[in-house]
Amino acid sequence: MLRMFVGADIDLFHCVDARRAMGREKAFGSALAPSLTSALTTVPEVVIVLAADPRSGWIVNMATELVSSPESASLKGSISMFDSARFLLLSTLVASISVGAPMDVKQPADAVKEKPAAQEEKGEKGEYQPPPPVVTEHTITLPGGKILNYKAITGYLLIRDIKPETQSGRDSGKESAKESVQDQLDPSKGKPMAQIFFVAYIVDGVDDAGTRPVTFAFNGGPGSASVWLHMGGIGPRRVVLSDRGEALPPPAKITDNESTWLERTDLVFIDPVSTGFSRPVRGEDPKQFYGYKQDLASVGDFIRIWTTRYSRWSSPKILAGESYGTTRAAGLSEYLQDRYGMYVNGIVLISSVLNFQTLEFEPGNDVPYPLYLPTYAATAWYHKRLPPDLQKLPLREVLSQTEAFSSAEYLLTLARGDAVSQSDSDRVANQLSRFTGLDASYIKQENLREPIERFTNDLLKGQNRSVGRYDSRFTGIRLHPGTDTVDFDPSDEAVNGPFTAAFNDYVRRELKFETDLPYETIAEVNPWNLAENKYLDVASSLKEAMSRNPYLKIWVCCGYYDLATPYFAAQSVVRGMNLDPAIRDNIQFTFYESGHMLYIERGAREKLNDDLDRFLTGALSAKPVSNTER
């Protein structure tokens, strides 16, 4: 470490670079001496402070060489060096800590410090650098006996503000005083903004990265970490639940995931800023990352940097998002194309929401009611609340009847508002009662509109139970029986504790990543700026990305018992995109008898893995499209 405070413009940092380049203590002293001598020649009064680690002798050698150098001898006839300057040489004991490592991050002794192919240069004095990622080696045996050897890379990527500096910023000089001359001129050395936590899984033994896909995965919220997809659905290790996805008695345990996607694609799980272990750099306002566009910029920058650091520009790329993560993935499809010229091969939308008008039960917005009705029917069928003639039918047949009614008669009735006749209202109320298991007179009191927050309490009200929003198969004890007061979501409680405990153990014990930070599975990121207008709609962004990139394949995965993002709403939005026939078949749907986190149910998780094979086969073997035919 070297600090100098002088009354002259000494090009100290060039001297530091000279030491690095020459790699010899004496050479550094020779390089520094002329600069100091020049300053002493032109400035009558100079105070120099040198500080160095006492374990290194270079500073002493440099000072000795400076005093005995020919340049100092040449000064004796005009200005005496020791009469004109006060020299202070300080030897200070410096603690052995990583440059820029935060105080709450610990690096275990047995972990391998990962060094990417294009690793950033170690930060200069005053510049924050996160600790290097940790690399661990693992093996998993898949069904059928296939063995996968893979690396887990766990750590941070630093996101910088690399926008061109304004004139006012250059004139202020507040930041430049802390930077070297080289860093002031280096356009890649922007201001550190945030460190984004990730866990990447890379299969060993792949000679050509161009043949191996890489999938960037994230959950939603906004404010959710990627732990749910990571430890529940597609990662190589998963939380142990019952076959139906129910929590088991604590403590939580993990096991190999027999349905991991790692067999077909490398995986990178991303925690957006403020979620998981990701945080803004100290002093930066986290709210600058809260919003649809802001989130696209930070996550998109992460994807670009990771792809560059790990030399994966030639690899097929997949985006996989769940819930609001599907909103993010759809937006990223256009953002990555526009901002970085990165065209992805496929997008997986799990529990999709592309248009928020389909989810908001608000006065004046009747869009959600017919789109939720099929999921109400699935929930009533599961809990045996339907009339006998419907209850005996297979679920898919019940849904077909509900969809037909919802898309025609119910939709038109809602559009009439208070102009609907009494007879029409009675008929529709009776039909709604058949498909929901609710009382027809009660539905009429609600003007034929049953919002989700009531339905989760109303369906099993007589049993003092509520049903889950994320997964309506789950039931919970009512805290406020007989009222419309919203209780806890029993489907959320089924996964929150096990996933949080399991990941906190896994990341430290198996991935060897140590930190005292809490892992924020669900972070508070309000206010979140969704859209300038009332409802955010990213379907148009996805349509544009697909139209510009005819090779882009979309896979939408829906759970029949998902009351957070209903499957019929996802279908309706995609149909409303009015895609050109040439790319209409680039979107495919698959459905599962599960909920929002459809993979927690064993059968759904296995089916999801099988469906992945078909999706990737299509996404990675697209035929060339000719745009010049006459």
The answer to whether residues 341 and 231 belong to one domain is yes
Instruction: Please tell me whether residues 205 and 344 are part of one structural domain.
Output: yes
What pLDDT is stored for residue 301 in this prediction?
Answer: 97
Q: At what angle do helices 25-42 and 12-22 cross, to 10 degrees?
A: 160
Number of neighbours of residue 124 by Cβ within 10 angstroms: 17
Share of the chain above pLDDT 90, in %: 69
Cα angle for residues 254, 256, 261 (degrees, 5° grid): 120
Q: Which residue has the higher pLDDT, 172 or 595?
A: 595
Burial code of 29-54, b = ≥16 C-beta within 10 A, e = fewer?
bbbbbebbbebbbebeebebebbbbe
pLDDT grade for 482, boundaries at 50, 70 and 90: confident
Q: Can you give the pLDDT at residue 171? A: 45
Report how far residue 494's alpha carbon sits from residue 628's, in angstroms, rounded to the nearest whole number. 55
Higher pLDDT, 626 or 31: 626
| End position of a domain, from candidates 74, 91, 108 | 91
Residues 466 and 531 in one domain: no
Same domain, yes or no, for 451 and 543? no
| Beta bridge mates, 466 | 476
| Per-residue model confidence (pLDDT) at position 486 | 81
Task: Looking at the structure, tell me whether residues 256 and 338 fall in a common domain.
Answer: yes
Q: Residue 127: its pLDDT value, please?
A: 66
CB neighbours of 70 closer than 8 A, spacing ≥ 6? Answer: none
Do 204 and 353 fall within a single domain?
Answer: yes
Looking at residue 23, what DSSP letter applies?
-
pLDDT at residue 186, rounded to an integer: 63
Please name the residue that has the structure tokens 């194309």: 337
Phi first, then psi, for residue 191 (nearest 5°) are -70, 125
pLDDT digits 0-9 by tens, 16-42: 333 333 333 333 344 444 444 444 444
pLDDT at 88 over 60: no
What's the DSSP call for residue 410?
I
Judge whether 506 and 199 are in contact, CB under 8 Å.
no
Asked if residue 519 lies in contact with residue 504, where contact means CB atoms within 8 angstroms, the answer is yes
Domain end (from 56, 73, 91): 91
Give a yes or no: residue 136 inside a domain: no
478: which residues sit within 8 A by CB, 6+ positions away? 457, 461, 464, 465, 466, 487
Higher pLDDT, 51 or 254: 254
Can you give the pLDDT at residue 485? 83
Per the model's pLDDT, the better-predicted residue between 322 and 127 turns out to be: 322
Residue 135 lies in a domain: no
Q: Are 575 and 540 members of one domain? A: yes
* Same-domain pairing of 475 and 579: no
Whether the per-residue pLDDT at 557 is higher than 80: the answer is yes
Q: Determine the average pLDDT of the residues in 352-363.
A: 95
Range of the domain at 65: 12-91
Of the pLDDT bands very low, low, confident and very high (cuts 50, 70, 90), residue 187 is low
Taking residues 312-333, report their average pLDDT: 97
Q: Does some domain include residue 116?
A: no
Beta bridge mates, 355: 537
Q: How many domains does the chain have?
A: 3
In a domain, 211, yes or no: yes
Q: What pLDDT sits at residue 532? A: 67
Model confidence pLDDT, tens digit, residues 401-457: 999 999 999 999 999 999 999 999 999 999 999 999 999 999 999 999 999 999 999
Plot region of 131 (φ>0 → left; ψ -120 to 50 → alpha; else → beta): beta
Residues 408, 379 share a domain? yes
Sign of CA dihedral 609, 612, 614, 617: negative
The pLDDT value recorded for residue 531 is 76
Residues 99-136: pLDDT tens digits? 333 334 444 455 565 554 444 444 444 567 889 999 99
Higher-confidence residue of 74 and 301: namely 301
pLDDT score, position 434: 97
Q: Tell me if 213 is assigned to some domain.
A: yes
> How confident is the model over 499-508, as a mean pLDDT?
97
The confidence score (pLDDT) of residue 564 equals 97
Identify whether 587 is part of a domain. Answer: yes
- How far apart are alpha carbons 35 and 13 in whole angstroms? 11
Mark which of 91, 112, 130 sits at the end of a domain.
91
pLDDT surpasses 90 at 512: yes
Average pLDDT, the chain: 82
Evaluate whether residue 152 is within a structural domain.
Answer: no
Q: Count CA within 13 A, CB hemisphere, residue 534.
A: 9
CB 560 within 8 A of CB 378: yes
In a shared domain, residues 265 and 318: yes
Single-letter code of the amino acid located at 566: P
CATH number, domain containing residue 245: 3.40.50.1820
Whether residues 353 and 368 fall in one domain: no
- Comparing CA positions, the residue from 84, 106, 85, 67 lying closest to residue 5 is 85
C-alpha count within 13 angstroms, C-beta hemisphere, residue 304: 18
Q: Where are the beta strands (DSSP E) in 343-413?
A: 346-352
**pLDDT of residue 397 exceeding 60:** yes
330: its two tokens: 């759809």
Give me the pLDDT at residue 18, please: 35
Does 472 score more than 50 pLDDT?
yes
Question: Within a domain: residue 171?
Answer: no
Q: Is the domain of 567 the same as that of 482?
A: no
64: number of Cβ within 10 Å:
12
pLDDT in tens, 55-82: 344 443 444 444 444 444 443 444 344 3
> Which stretches of 142-282 are assigned E, i.e. beta strand?
147-161, 191-203, 214-218, 237-239, 254-256, 266-271, 279-280
Give, as one character, the DSSP assignment of residue 576: T
pLDDT confidence of residue 114: 59
